[in-house]
Structure 1
Amino acid sequence: MELSALAGNRRLKAQLSQQEGGRGLSHAYIIAGPAGSGRHTLGGLLAQAMVCTAPEHQRPCGRCPQCRKAQGGIHPDISWVAGAGEGKPISVDQVRALRSDAYIRPNEGERKVYILEGADRMNASAQNAMLKLLEEGPAYAAFLLLAENAGGVLETVRSRCETLTLDPVAPDECLSWLQARFPQASREELADAANRCQGLLGRAVEQLAGGGEQAQALKDKADKLSRLLMQGQELELLEFSLTLDKLTREETQRLLDLTSAALGDQILQASDRARALRAAQGVKEMRQAAGLNVGPAALFPWLTALLFSREK
């Protein structure tokens, strides 16, 4: 397969190329990895390969009409499915509608491909409806379930899918990829982004491309949170945490990612190294909890309690 658009992940690429040249691609994959790891890139490439008309081992070719439509987001046989509102998971009603659509034969190609956002956040009813489709759906239908945490997908659903887990990209590969993507950036800017992204290129792209006022506001919050975790009093940290309860799930996860990166930069210079390490471990635990859909109203006071209880 032609998967060069996905950085790193050599073993995963080799696995998929071997599958395509042998028994063919599966009808269902869970594509797992944290934000910025390349879930959407890989999902798009697999969907494109499934409708591509090029010979095997050359898919997706990126040149045939099917590939060009897929790249432009207008292919009639590729559907991206997300929750009905910002931050909301896919509902059981959406899965039922998807099931009805799946039994309508493809418009142009041999396959219909459905890419589902946040599969690990779907409730049990929606996942069970999805299970029926995975078990009984038509042979031409393929399903790509994007998930931050594959463990959040029901075992019964996981057993009907192949799980593709994305790995962080090595710093040297990050740097090479970013140099090609951002030729106008300085060597120092590229190196800083490659080092801070923790192998997740999406984060590096966000840093170099900028994300507007909202992204800057989130970064400012992360900088303040990291300072309070390193030096603040318990009441200060608790009061600040209460201002974060309106963040969405995605914003909460991004805030914790930014805070983790900021703490990593400060630990070696910290006057209280033990506290800095406790803070870093606490943020790591909170990030895992955020992936399981724990809301910020509970998350940040919990972080405060963890930090100061361990101090005592």
Structure 2
Amino acid sequence: MAFSAITGQKQIKIRLAAEAQRRGSGAYMLTGPVGTGKRMLAEEFAKALMCSDAGADGACGVCSNCKYFENYTTPDVTRVYEPSETKNVKVDFIKDNVVAESYLKPQFARTKTFIIDFDYLGVESQNALLKSLEEPRKDVVFILTSSNTDAVLDTVMSRVTEIKLEPYSDDELIQIVRDNCPDLDDAKIKSAVYNSGRIPGKAISLAKEDSGISLRHEINSIMIAMPTSSYIDVLEDYVEVLTGFKDDAKIIASSILLFLDDAGRLINYPDCRKINNELDRDAIENFVAANKHITTLKLGRCTEAVNTFLRALEVNSNFDASASAMLLRIHEELKK
């Protein structure tokens, strides 16, 4: 696989291919949320560094070094991912398998490469790497990944070149899901993408489990019932539904926002050709028709309630309390 086989991240792929051709030493940190493709890019970058004939699209895929890399038989690449028996990688493992190895010359390739997932490195293990990152051999490259740079030591970040992954477009996300779920129909693929928070890994997971559609329908059902619901319905039934999906708080928020956007479109343009929730279009059209008291101003205040919910979660507020406050505010705006 070359860089062109990876969907999205165009500018980053161009940059990594150029760095591989340059074959200089250094330390790179690929950053972005979990599920955005950091490891895939890191692996392809490492393969291009290994390749005997790397070009503008990365590794050639046919030379002996590429074959060694693909078969995990090269001693010139060390991978440090999640440990099988402990929460984090032990510092002794880093000292023995990374620090000590980084002083040895590569055996087959022109560079010795280390791919390290910093999500599994504690403070002690990170500190053990500092000197190696600051003064690597001329034929040593470190490719690091992190989904949370706040957990990475400042002394590490100052020694690496950070490469932030770019947001994926809808078309890119749809293509990624389609490649991974070729038997899924377009409606389900789009639903998974809309519920993914623009995270490819999440979109694939939702598509495979079909839970994205389930969550979207749950949210839409709650929103449609809001005008005729009681406070008890909101505080007991609806909060319980959201709590069941609390690990997907951003998806909950995006689903509500998509519903509000659809309602606003149908209020202003009853004959609009496209809405976000095409699968529930009839139900949302009936919702708008039956609730003439709902205005775009009210929908705007509902949107602010969702944004307040997201801000509360960013500072680690209690999920149930934040969800209750959001739903009560939405109920206040939508009730008859």
Question: Normalization by structure 2: what TM-score?
Answer: 0.67
Give secondary structure in 2 for the equivalent of 1:113. strand
Number of the residue aligned with 1:205: 204
1:292-307 equivalences in 2 (<5 Å): 300=319, 303=322
The answer on whether the counterparts of 2:28 and 2:160 sit within 8 Å (CA) in structure 1 is yes
1:144-293 equivalences in 2 (<5 Å): 144-210=143-209, 232-233=234-235, 237=239, 255-268=248-261, 273=299, 274-275=301-302, 277-283=304-310, 286=313, 288=314
Distance 1:171 1:87 in 2: 37
Which amino acid counterpart does residue 170 of structure 1 have in structure 2? S
The answer on whether the counterparts of 1:82 and 1:89 sit within 8 Å (CA) in structure 2 is no
Give secondary structure in 1 for the equivalent of 2:35. coil
Distance 1:131 1:38 in 2: 25
Offset of residue 59 of structure 1:
2.7
Give secondary structure in 1 for the equivalent of 2:60. coil
Unaligned runs of 5+ in 2: 227-232, 264-286, 288-293, 331-336
Offset of residue 153 of structure 1:
2.1
Offset of residue 51 of structure 1:
0.8
Give secondary structure in 1 for the equivalent of 2:100. helix
Which amino acid counterpart does residue 256 of structure 2 have in structure 1? L
Distance 1:72 1:280 in 2: 47
Which amino acid counterpart does residue 319 of structure 2 have in structure 1? F
**CA offsets, 1:140-163, max 9 Å, x none?**
322111111334322221121111
Offset of residue 52 of structure 1:
1.0
**CA offsets, 1:23-52, max 9 Å, x none?**
445521110011221111111111111111
Change (3 A) 1:307 1:159: same
The answer on whether the counterparts of 2:17 and 2:58 sit within 8 Å (CA) in structure 1 is no
1:58-73 equivalences in 2 (<5 Å): 58-73=57-72
Change (3 A) 1:78 1:306: farther
Which amino acid counterpart does residue 44 of structure 1 have in structure 2? E
Number of the residue aligned with 1:248: none
Distance 1:51 1:20 in 2: 9
Query: Which moves more between the two structures, 262-271 or 47-56?
Result: 262-271
**Are 1:126 and 2:125 counterparts?**
yes
Number of the residue aligned with 2:99: 99
Give secondary structure in 2 for the equivalent of 1:203. helix
Which amino acid counterpart does residue 105 of structure 1 have in structure 2? K
Query: Which moves more between the two structures, 192-201 or 24-33?
Result: 192-201
Change (3 A) 1:93 1:300: farther
Offset of residue 164 of structure 1:
1.0
Change (3 A) 1:4 1:275: same
Number of the residue aligned with 1:4: 4
The answer on whether the counterparts of 1:96 and 1:129 sit within 8 Å (CA) in structure 2 is yes
Offset of residue 280 of structure 1:
4.4
Change (3 A) 1:53 1:302: farther
The answer on whether the counterparts of 2:20 and 2:45 sit within 8 Å (CA) in structure 1 is no
Change (3 A) 1:237 1:132: farther
Distance 1:236 1:179 in 2: 33
**CA offsets, 1:44-83, max 9 Å, x none?**
1111111111144353122223223333444332222134
Distance 1:305 1:85 in 2: 38
Distance 1:133 1:223 in 2: 51
Offset of residue 20 of structure 1:
4.0
Distance 2:83 2:120 in 1: 13
Change (3 A) 1:265 1:309: closer
Q: Identity of counterpart residues, as a percentage?
A: 23
Give secondary structure in 1 for the equivalent of 2:155. helix
Give secondary structure in 2 for the equivalent of 1:37. coil
Which amino acid counterpart does residue 278 of structure 1 have in structure 2? A
Number of the residue aligned with 1:247: none
When the two structures are aligned, how many residues end up with a matched partner? 286
Looking at CA atoms only, which structure, 1 or 2, has the larger radius of gyration? Answer: 2
**CA offsets, 1:168-207, max 9 Å, x none?**
2111233344444444322222332333334322222222
The answer on whether the counterparts of 1:238 and 1:304 sit within 8 Å (CA) in structure 2 is no
**CA offsets, 1:106-154, max 9 Å, x none?**
343222222212x256333322222122123433322111111334322
Distance 1:25 1:302 in 2: 52
Which amino acid counterpart does residue 40 of structure 1 have in structure 2? R
Distance 2:93 2:329 in 1: 44
Number of the residue aligned with 2:44: 45
Distance 2:82 2:133 in 1: 19
Unaligned runs of 5+ in 1: 245-251
